[in-house]
Every structure is written in structure tokens, then in C-alpha cells.
A and B are shown apart, each in its own frame.
Chain A
Amino acid sequence: MREYKLSRLKRWVLSLITDEDMYSSIREDLEYRFVEDLEKKGFLRVKIQNTFQFFIIIVPLMIESLFGGFAMFKNYIKTAFRNIKRHKGYSFINIFGLATGMTVCLLMLMYVVNEISYDDFHKKGDRIYRINVDWGKEGSRMKFAGTMPAIAPALNTEIPEVEVAARVRTNNEMIILNSQNEKIKESQIFHADPEVFDIFSWKFLKGNEATSLKDPFSAVISQKIAKKYFGTEEPIGQTININDNLYKVTGLLKDFPTNTHLRCEILVSYSTIQSLGEYPEQPWTQWGDDLTYFVLRENSLLNSVEDKLNDLLNQNTGKWFTDKMEFIMQPLSDIHWDTESRGDVGVKGNIIYVYLFLSAAILVLIVACFNFMNLSTSRYLDRMNEIGVRKVVGANRAQLIRQFLTESLLVATVSMICGIVLFNILNSSLYSYLDASFVSSTSHFQYLYGMVVLMIIIVGFMAGSYPAWFMSKFHPVDIMKKSIMKGSEKLSFRNVLVVLQFAISIILILGTMIIYQQIDFMKNTDLGFDKEDVVLSYLPFTNPQAFHQSPSQREVPRFEE
């Protein structure tokens, strides 16, 4: 029987609201049901069902422990909905304000998530390193992402601390001839050792991970490429013409997420390079475009790999070489932020932008919460009769606070639903304007769900805290005698809120205007030439002499994206 363990988050939530015995019973039940269901249904379905069952179990327990039963909870929800209905204008501003704030916050957080989640989907991710090179004389040193092709085989055979190592060679754009004999430019073509699939957790849809890149002239392609060149036909076994060589398609990869530095749309076997006559033997002094990745064995030290690699370098080269050469072991998670190394691949990130976006997201959310607080406390007189009656019949302050927090959580939930609708409408148009396609990437949606739940809780509590504290503090006698008049209480905290809210709003609006003008300037400023009819083209290496022929003879290759 398979074992299944409840996720840490679920266990934590469970332990918060139950005692030890109940926790143990519920955990056993959920884990047992998971394994039992798995025999009949698919993994994903069982997982969703199990989460659903988890909520069925904990929601009543939570209501039980917070409100002492369903009766009061039902009453709070009913009162909240009645209040929303009675003051439609207020409710609309309140909900719409929160929804807008949440949407903007989500949009910005998606960018942040995309940046900080770079390459985090690899199972061995925390043990993957890339070997970079620091090369040159003192004072004129440069860093390179590429290393010697001789390193990876040596790592595999001679250094026991390395679990597996592989080379990935970056290439310039290559020309693919499709079935209509059209020349098409492709940039994401890499030569790779078969071991890359042991390092990176790329998902194989068809083909064999161990053998598909073994033979020369074999290629593993992504779904996107398969669709582009073979349409609906079965891609495995087809041939693909890259730079006038025929490659056999031996594997199909699931499309890459956007948040990875290494997007290998087409992988061709590394052995092809030797077959084409380059690098017949691999001297340690020859290096160029080969990125070398390796997985450190568990419980091994990175230092010992580095020492042994330096020893190997000393054995295989002379002092003139080792003096100039220094290896850098770069963790996988650092690659996205590394802007120094030359010959690197992928989009680079800037941590300052991430902080900027993160703080702007938080500020927007805070403004939305302040707005909510002001609106709910400004009409506190409407609720005074209700609060007075509740107090007279025995509600204590803690219960009233709970009631108002329930209310604000409810409003936050409704706002979030509106916010998600807005988010879906806005994200595609915003990111196509910003020229970033990452939101369509499904790998972020797991974070999105978490953020949505977290945001409801944070906003609900933050926005509801002050109104709950404020409205529950009056003495019932004062309420009944109507001695709390409008303005008799100096709402100084509210004044502070209003000032803060306006200040933050003004800062954000000004910032947005400046950035917008900058982008506008970048796009529309006069460059001194008409950029409409200017083409930037990279020459294909296959036919460089075409450039030297006279214009009438010149055969201009037709490129298509």
C-alpha cells in the first residue's frame, strides 16, 4: 500500500484548531482516504478531492471553536448581507475599492512571483550548479558562462561527489527547412548530452529519456516546435532539417514554463558535433559555448568538487593556463540574477525591480484597506442600534469584534471574487502592453491560489481590525441614550488614515505618470532615422559569402518567425 502524508500546511492548520487526539484521528482519516481513493481514481483527482474533504472537516471545526456553534455564525452572515443590501452605494464603493486594490496587487505580485520562481521547478534544483569561468590577466578579467567541453565527461567519470554532469551548447540562430521548403529562423536550439534529462526536470511526453539524445543527428523537440513543423502529425520518427543536416526526432518535451533561463525548444544530440568533425578530441584548453551543469551528490561538499576540478585542470594544462583560469560554481537559483557572465542564455532579472514591485503592491493593498476602514467607521451611527441591542442581550466585546471581523472577511471574499474577474480581464492586455507573456504560464497558478487565500485573510483582518475595535467599544447605556453624537468623538485615527491614504495615492500616481512618460519617450522619441523600414538581420553561418556577391546575384534568404 502506498504511503501518503498530509502536506505540512494542512497539518499546521489542523494542529491550530484541534487538540492532539482530534488531530491524530483526522490526519489518519484523511491519509487513509487518500490511499484508498488512489486505487480507483487518478492522482490529481484524488488530490483535489482530498483537499475538498479537508475543508469539509476543518470549516465546521473552525466555526465551532471561533463562534461556539453555527447559530451565531449564521446570524453574523445574515446581518452582514442585510447591511450590504441596505446601503448599496456604500457597499459598492467599499467592495469595488477593495477589488481594484486586490487586482492591482495581484498583477504586480505575478511579476514578483515570476521573477523569484525562476528555475524553481527542478526536483534536484538546490543541488544543481553551473560551472562558470573567470578568465584573464589581473586587471582585465572577464566572466564567461561557457566552459571547456572536456569538463563534463571528466566530472562524470573522475569526481565521485558529482551525481551527474552534462553539457548544453548554445548556438546562434539556425535555419530550419519546413515541409513547404521555407527557411525559418529558430534561436532556441541547443546541443546537449543525454544526461541533461537527469539534471533538469523537463517533462517527457514521448520518447526515452536515457537514449533519445544518444545517437548523432537525433533531436528532442518541444510541443510548440512539433506543432509548428508537423502540425497534428506524430512527431516521433520524423526528420527535421536544421542547417542543411537531417535530424531524426526521438523525443517530445512538454512546453517549457516561461520562468526558466534554459528554454530548449530544440535539443540535438551533443554527439552530432563530433560527427560533423568539430572537436575530434577535446583538449582542456579549448572552450567556448558549452554550458556545463552538474548535480552535486547529496551530503557532499561543493568545495571538494572545486578542488578536484582544479587538480584535473592542473594535470591537463600548463601553468600559463591555470594562472588565468578560475572556476566559479554557480547555484542554479543565481543564474537568473547573474548579469556579468558573457555568453549566457535567458532573460536576466533585476532584484531592485522585484523589491519595487513588491513594495508598490503592498502599498496599493494598504491604501485599499485604509479606504475600507474609513468607509466602515464613517457610518458607525447606522449600526449603533444593532450594537446596543446586541450588548444589552448579553453580547460581550469579544463577540462583537468577531462579528465585525467576520463581516470584513466576507466583504474581502466578495471583493476578491470581483478582483479575480478583473484580473482575468486585465492581465492579458497589460502584459501584452508590457511585452511579457508570463501570466499565461500555468506554473504560477499554484502560487496564485495561495496568494488569493492569503490576501483575503490579510485584507479581511487588516481592514476589519480598526472598525471592529472602534464599533465595539461603546457602552450600551451611551448608545441607548444617544449620547454618542456625530463628531463628539474626535476620530483622530481616521484623520491620520485619510492623510496617509491620500499621500500614498499621490506618490503612486506620480510614479506611474513618470514611468509612463519615460516609456512613451523611449518609444516615440526621434532617433534621427526612420525605423519603420530598417531591418536588423543576423547572417546565417551557412552562406556568409552571399553577402559578398553583387546585389543582383545575391540570394537573400527568406526568414520567417
Chain B
Amino acid sequence: MQFLSRIEEILLLAIWKLKENAFGISIREQVERDTGTKWLSGAIYAPLSRLKKNGYVKTKRAQGSTNMGGRPRIYYTLTPLGEKKLRSIQELNKVMWAEVPDMK
């Protein structure tokens, strides 16, 4: 099993949470909300392109909605492979945390 890096995992989850509404700006803002960092959040684009290259997410050009410059907006969605990956990460985390019910 190939492991994802932490930022890739966060990104996959963010795209999953945003569902139909995941595009560049909204993904970045979701990551900012989730992690609490603002300044370095621009660095999401390198892992995002890696996710795309590895087949975990795919892009879709919106027909109706356009961005500020009048160009079609690019939306990101998970591929079946991406969803499977996310589930397996969740499983893994559950198993790993099961033995540590309370961190005290």
C-alpha cells in the first residue's frame, strides 16, 4: 500500500468535504480552516497536481460558472481510486487510535 503524505491526505479530505464546490480558492480556504495556517496555504498546488497525476482526483471544467476573468472555473472531484484511498486512511487511523482511547 502506498502512503500519502499528510498534506495530500488533508487535501483529499478537503475536496471530499466540499463535494460539488471544490475549486482552487475554496480548497485553499478549506485547508486554511482545517489547519489554521494562512501564509503557506498557497503551497497546496504542488501536492494537488501530484494527486491529479497519481489519479486520485480529476478536474472538470464548469460550463455555467465562470471566474473573475470570464474563464471557465476548474472544479476538482475525487476519482473512485481517491475515495477508496480516503476510506482506507480512515480505517487505518481508526485501527491505530483504537488502542489509545484517551490521550492522557
Count A-B contacts at CB 8 Å: 67
What's the least CB distance linking B2 to chain A, in Å? 14
In the complex, whether A22 has a CB less than 8 A from a CB of chain B is yes
List residues of chain B with CB within 8 A of the CB of A5: 69
Binds B, one of A57-65, A97-105, A360-368, A440-448: A57-65
Interface assignment of B103: CB less than 8 Å from any CB of chain A: no
**Minimum C-beta distance from A161 to chain B (A):** 34
Q: Smallest CB–CB gap between B15 and chain A, Å?
A: 12
Interface centre among B40, B46, B72 (most CB of A within 10 A): B46
Which one, A18, A25, A35, A63, contacts B68 given CB within 8 A? Answer: A35
Let me know if B46 and A28 touch, CB within 8 A: no
| Size class of the B contact interface (CB-based, 8 Å) | 20 to 34
Bound CA span A25–B46, Å? 12
Nearest-Cβ distance from residue A26 to partner chain B, whole angstroms: 6
Minimal Cβ-Cβ distance residue in A for B71:
A24
Partner of A56, one of B43, B49, B68: B43
Q: Which residue of A25, A33, A35, A53 is within 8 Å of B23 (Cβ)?
A: A25
Q: Say whether B74 contacts A24, CB under 8 Å.
A: yes
Residues 5-48 of chain A: 1 if any B CB is under 8 Å from the residue's CB, otherwise 0? 10000000000001101101111110111010000000000000
The interface size of chain A toward B, counting residues with CB under 8 Å, comes to 25
Enumerate chain B residues within 8 angstroms of A24, measured Cβ to Cβ: 67, 71-74
How far does the Cβ of A4 sit from chain B's closest Cβ, in whole Å?
8
The smallest beta-carbon distance between B47 and chain A, in angstroms, is: 8
A22 partner residues in chain B, CB cutoff 8 A:
45, 48-49, 52, 74
1/0 per residue, CB under 8 A from A, across B19-32: the answer is: 00001110010000
Partner of B42, one of A31, A35, A53: A53
Q: Which of B49, B59, B69, B71 contacts A61 (CB 8 A)?
A: B49
Min CB gap B104→A, angstroms: 36
Q: Cβ of A61: which chain B residues have Cβ within 8 Å of it?
A: 45-46, 49
User: In whole angstroms, what is the CA distance A298 to B25 when docked?
Assistant: 38
Report chain A residues within 8 Å CB of B61.
21
Instruction: Give the residues from 36 to 75 in chain B that come closer than 8 angstroms, CB to CB, to chain A.
Output: 39-40, 42-43, 45-46, 48-50, 52, 59, 61, 67-69, 71-74
In whole angstroms, how far apart are the Cα atoms of A19 and B24 in the complex? 14
Give the residue name and chain of the B residue nearest to A29 (CB): B24
Pairwise interchain contact A28-B67, C-beta atoms closer than 8 A: yes
Chain B residues near A57 (CB, 8 Å)? 42-43, 45
Residues in A with CB closer than 8 Å to B49 are 18-19, 22, 61, 64
User: For the complex, what is the distance from the CA of A293 to the CA of B49, rounded to whole Å?
Assistant: 54
Contact with B along A57-78 (1 / 0, CB 8 A): 1001101100000000000000
The reply to whether A32 and B68 form a contact with Cβ atoms under 8 Å apart is yes
- A64 with B69, Cβ < 8 A, contacts A25-B74, A56-B40 known: no
| Nearest CB on B from A10, distance (A) | 13
Any B CB within 8 A of the CB of A234: no
B66: nearest residue on chain A (CB-CB)?
A28
- Point out the residues of chain B lying under 8 angstroms from A532, CB to CB: none
Query: Whole-angstrom distance between the alpha carbons of A19 and B53 in the complex?
Result: 11
In the bound complex, residues from chain B placing their C-beta under 8 Å from that of A18 are 45, 49
Q: Which residues of A contact B46 (CB under 8 A)?
A: 60-61, 63-64
A489, CB-defined interface residue at 8 Å: no
Residues of A within 8 A of B74 (CB): 21-22, 24-25, 28
Question: Can you offer 22 A-B residue contacts whose CB atoms are under 8 A?
Answer: A1-B68, A5-B69, A19-B49, A21-B52, A21-B59, A21-B61, A21-B74, A22-B45, A22-B52, A22-B74, A26-B45, A28-B23, A28-B24, A28-B74, A54-B42, A56-B42, A56-B43, A57-B42, A57-B43, A61-B49, A63-B46, A64-B46
